[in-house]
Amino acid sequence: MLDIRTAAAAFAAATLWIAPVAAQDHGHGASQAHGQHDTEGLAGSSPADGEIVTGAPSSIVLDFDHPMTVRSVQLLTDAMERIAIDFEPSEDAVERIEIALDEDLEPGGYQVTWRAAADDHEMSGSVTFAVR
């Protein structure tokens, strides 16, 4: 049986491999190369990207480096199953969103994906974390 650290490391490695392939163009032209984990526009998060937390977090926080209109946020398990969260897109540009989690997350790996826009510039990214 895999321990949580091994499972989290495998999940993070798989995400880092897949993320550049699935990254959006961001309006810069198809020839621009993207970095490994696409975090353009994201200043930080809680849980932090790659963090292993003890016990389930009560919320997810995304801090952006400038005001953005957040169009979508999804929470996925390491098996890519969507977990229902209370997020509604708005027309207002914000630098921070906090989403309360209604249910305790089971031990395992998770991915938060987001998509936002600012000044006619679409951005997306993801944050991975694990609960033990």
- What is 37-104 written as a DSSP string? S--TTEEEEESPTTEEESS--SEEEEEEEEEEEEEEEEEEETT--EE-------SS-EEEEEEE-SSP
Residue type for position 54: T
CB 92 within 8 A of CB 127: no
Residue 9 sits in a domain whose CATH number is: 2.60.40.1220
Report the pLDDT value the prediction gives residue 90, as an integer from 0 to 100. Answer: 81
Give the predicted TM-score (pTM) of the model.
Answer: 0.71
120 three-state secondary structure:
coil
Q: Which domain holds residue 49?
A: 4-131
**Is the bond leading into 57 cis (omega within 30 degrees of zero)?**
no
Mean pLDDT by 10 residues, the chain (132 residues): 51 44 38 42 96 96 95 97 94 95 94 93 95 96
Number of domains comprising the chain: 1
